[in-house]
Chains A and B, each alone.
Chain A
Amino acid sequence: MTSPLSADIIVIGSGVCGALAARHLARAGASVLMLEAGPRITREQITARFRASPLKSDFLAPYPNSDMAPFPDYKPHDNGYLVQAGPVPYKAEYIRAVGGTTWHWAAQAWRLLPNDFRIQSLYGVGRDWPISYDDLEPYYCEAERIMGVSGPIDNGSPRSEPFPMPPVAPSWLERKFTERLAPHYHVITNTTARNSQSYDGRPACCGNNNCMPICPIDAQFHGGLAADKAEDAGVRLIAQAVVYKLEHDAKGRITAAWFYDWNKTAHKVTGKTFIIAANAIETPKLLFLSASAAFPNGLANRSDALGRTLMDHPSNGATFEVEDAVWPGRGPMSPASIQQLRDGAFRSDHAAFRIDLSNSSRVASITRSAIAKGLRGTALQAEIRRRSAHEISLKNVLEQLPNPENRVMLSSEKDALGLPKPWLHYQYDAYIDRGMAASKKAYDEIAALMGAKSVTHTPDGVYQNNQHITGTLAMGHDPATSVCDSHARAHDHENLFFASTGVMPTVATVNSTLTAAALALRTAHFIKETA
């Protein structure tokens, strides 16, 4: 062991949530130490690795994956980091690196709808949040200013301030969908942390169509930029620091964190306040690992709620050829969506969802498919050209209800540092299936309006997740049924807070990053004001 490190605030995890909370507190004058399990990476490095990769469809492939701080990877084979107990696998993807998982995302920066906070009261399903939309609204504004969010005003979420910039210019594809689906389906430009003009020293989007796995020009905000901002504000960041245990005193206050560097030398860190921001799988893992005589089931777990109600956005999808030559691949990857099925009385019966219109280039997948069909020569070329111009895909982003049996625990399998791997139990329910059926009906109507002659649906009952890992640290008023309170403070530990998508009690129908960032800022304000 080396000599102890110490700060007022210890932040574990350097993704968007942890970094923005750390930055806020450092700017307020606190000494802040941020620990990150993974390495430092750069945009140039990841862009070069993407271009040289033979696995370009694998968004994780360009990111260095170390045995010292492993993360899940599935291509060409599952690396086994997440231990799946079934009944269905939950193949979550995330990155352990300075900046975290938003190094690759589509920059979707949606707010929830006001009704999303009250689905138990309104629709008799799921649970209500301990806070309202209005409680979070000022922090949505603050997060949007930091991240540089743009979007349309008719996205269903009331605003007290204008967006920092106008919506991103629509592609020809988006314009054709908007025209042809009206008035049956209202297509709007997505709300994104993507620059429609120079902002905060970063350029406007140039349509690199590579938002995932890496924007080569930083036209979209990501966690690496958030970590840079934290360091600029005076936060001390230590990379390759794998936290494996928290210690507490007789009152349950956290007193220290222990981490291994990548040589497996142990280091002790002390602080007054601890914020865990290590995502909704790694955070419960650390709390389970920190079990003690006083907290035999893990820290922050007297309720037995820790790690439970794991949620994501399961998706199905459809592919079809539209009449117009729209050529997906011009402009950002995920430009527009249909919002009208995100809320309504139907939520009592089936899951709500958003329908996303993909503008990702389909050339690579089409080429591979056409070659596999046995085509050659000019016939192959014609097939690639036709489908690249006309083939499009839709998918939904669908609300999964909190189910206590969907959970994260510790596996008996260990990683290279000797730390248990995460163990996952996961399943879908009939509420999801009914929402998926409603989505299929909408896809067929959309395809018909676009002049498609046939539609290929993803298989029934087989859903993709969207890496929106939520719910395992759920906030609530009742310490008997939730992990943390309405400010994301652990019910059981006065000086332990969470900055994570994990604190979201429900997942709603939009990507979780902006909401989690707003929650993290709200928590940071609370820590500052109550210090």
Chain B
Amino acid sequence: MTPPLNRRGLLLGAAALTVFSMKAARAAVSAPLSNATVDDATMRHFMAVSGRLTGFTDLNAELGHRLITAFIQIVPNFRETLALLPATAEESAPTSAFEQTVMTGWYEGVVQHEDNMACVAYVTALEHVLTADVLKPPSYAYGAYGSWQAKPLPAAHWATQDLTP
């Protein structure tokens, strides 16, 4: 199950859509990504592959478009490598480095190749969506003073699973 991505979160993410390079970091200047043209078939394939890798069945298409735009600009040969990935596959083998790059984009909100990187999402990165029933992304208020004293109460669909180490 995927908690919904809200509009505000997407807008916050959109404001952050910039390429961040070593040089840019030191100069405290980021260059905005240009809009890449992505055809519908490539987009559908990207979302299908992303769903298989992330385990989320209802990935947000708008965030997906921003991610693939960043991937195409930052990761060499992204379209070509993506095309080789199956939309469905056996899940036994460990993920490849390329697949992990795609997953890091969705989960961390960061698209990276060597020193070139972009923050595409923060609040809507899947690592925060996945834990949103218990935690807030760092820098966002947990709640009123002292609210963290209470026992954490995971959402019911997670609480039914025994995750004790």
Contacts and interface: CB of A to CB of B under 8 A. Distances in A.
Interface in B1-34: 12, 15-16, 18, 20, 22, 25-26, 28, 30
Contacts of A73: 25-26
A522 to B, nearest CB: 33
Interface stretch (A98-106, A251-259, A383-391, A417-425): A383-391
A217 B25 CA distance: 25
A389 B99 CA distance: 26
A87 B115 CA distance: 28
A384 B143 contact: no
A378 B122 CA distance: 21
Given A209-B136, A371-B100, A371-B103, A390 B163 contact: yes
A438 to B, nearest CB: 27
Contacts of B80: none
Given A77-B22, A207-B141, A390-B163, A363 B127 contact: yes
B76 interface: no
Chain A interface main SS type? loop
Contacts of B119: 52-54
Interface string A368-381: 10011111111111
B48 to A, nearest CB: 13
Contacts of B141: 206-208, 216-217
Contact of A47 (B18, B53, B139, B143): B139
Given A79-B26, A330-B135, A384 B130 contact: yes
A376 B55 contact: yes
A130 to B, nearest CB: 41
Contact of B149 (A79, A175, A385, A386): A175
Nearest to A384: B130
A74 to B, nearest CB: 12
Interface of B: 12, 15-16, 18, 20, 22, 25-26, 28, 30, 52-55, 91, 94-95, 99-100, 103-104, 107-108, 110-112, 115, 117-119, 122, 127-128, 130-131, 134-136, 138-152, 154, 158, 161, 163-165
A66 B25 CA distance: 10
B20 A169 contact: no
A517 B127 CA distance: 39
A227 interface: no
Contact of A371 (B104, B112, B142, B144): B104
B148 A54 contact: no
Nearest to A388: B131
Given A54-B118, A363-B128, A206 B161 contact: no
Contact of A172 (B15, B94, B149, B163): B149
Contact of A323 (B25, B107, B115, B164): B164
A327 B148 CA distance: 10
Given A208-B140, A216-B139, A169 B161 contact: no
Contact of A377 (B53, B111, B127, B151): B53
Given A51-B122, A208-B139, A361-B135, 19 more contacts: A50-B139, A53-B119, A54-B117, A172-B152, A206-B141, A206-B145, A214-B139, A330-B142, A331-B142, A361-B138, A364-B108, A371-B95, A371-B107, A374-B95, A375-B95, A376-B91, A379-B55, A381-B55, A381-B130
Contacts of B128: 363
Contact of A385 (B12, B91, B130, B151): B130
Interface in A428-465: 452-453
Contacts of A28: none
A331 B148 contact: yes
A208 B138 contact: yes
Contact of B112 (A51, A54, A381): A54
Contacts of B142: 206-209, 330-331
A507 to B, nearest CB: 29
Contact of A54 (B20, B99, B147): B20
Contact of A368 (B95, B108, B147, B149): B108
Contacts of A66: 28
Contacts of A331: 142, 148
Contacts of A321: 165
A53 B145 contact: no
Nearest to A324: B164
Nearest to A64: B28
A388 B165 CA distance: 12
A326 interface: yes
19 contacts: A50-B139, A61-B25, A169-B148, A169-B149, A170-B149, A172-B149, A208-B139, A208-B141, A208-B142, A216-B139, A372-B100, A376-B52, A376-B54, A376-B99, A380-B54, A380-B55, A381-B55, A389-B152, A453-B165
Contacts of B150: 172
Nearest to A390: B165
Nearest to A197: B145
Contacts of B127: 363-364, 367, 384
Contacts of B99: 376
A374 B131 CA distance: 20
A49 B128 CA distance: 19
A215 to B, nearest CB: 9
A279 B55 CA distance: 49
A222 to B, nearest CB: 15
Contacts of A381: 55, 130
